[in-house]
C-alpha cells in the first residue's frame, strides 16, 4: 500500500517550524545570540497553537491553496 505523499497543511507547518528553528539556531551560533529569540518565538507560537487551536501559519497556507490532511 503506497503512502500518500501529498503536502498537507499539517505537514507544511511542521516542516516550516523545523526549518525556522534550525535556521535561527544556526544564525544564533554563527551571527548573534539574539537570533535565539526567533527560536523562542517559534516555540511559543507552536505551544499557543496546541492550546488554543489558532495558528496564523495555517491561515496563510490555506490562502495559498494547501488542503488539510485526512485522518
**Tell me: the pLDDT tens digits for 22-52?**
999 999 999 999 999 999 999 999 999 999 9
Which 3 state secondary structure label does DSSP give 65?
A: coil
Q: What is the DSSP letter of 31?
A: T
Handedness of CA 16, 18, 19, 20 (dihedral sign): positive
Q: How many CA atoms lie within 13 A of 71 on its CB side?
A: 0
pLDDT in tens, 2-30: 576 788 999 999 999 999 999 999 999 99
pTM for the whole structure: 0.84
Amino acid at each position: 500500500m503506497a503512502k500518500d505523499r501529498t503536502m498537507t497543511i499539517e505537514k507544511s507547518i511542521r516542516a516550516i517550524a523545523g526549518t525556522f528553528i534550525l535556521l535561527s539556531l544556526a544564525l544564533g551560533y554563527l551571527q548573534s545570540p539574539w537570533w535565539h529569540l526567533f527560536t523562542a518565538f517559534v516555540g511559543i507560537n507552536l505551544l499557543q497553537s496546541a492550546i488554543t487551536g489558532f495558528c496564523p501559519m495555517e491561515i496563510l497556507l490555506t490562502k495559498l491553496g494547501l488542503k488539510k490532511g485526512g485522518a
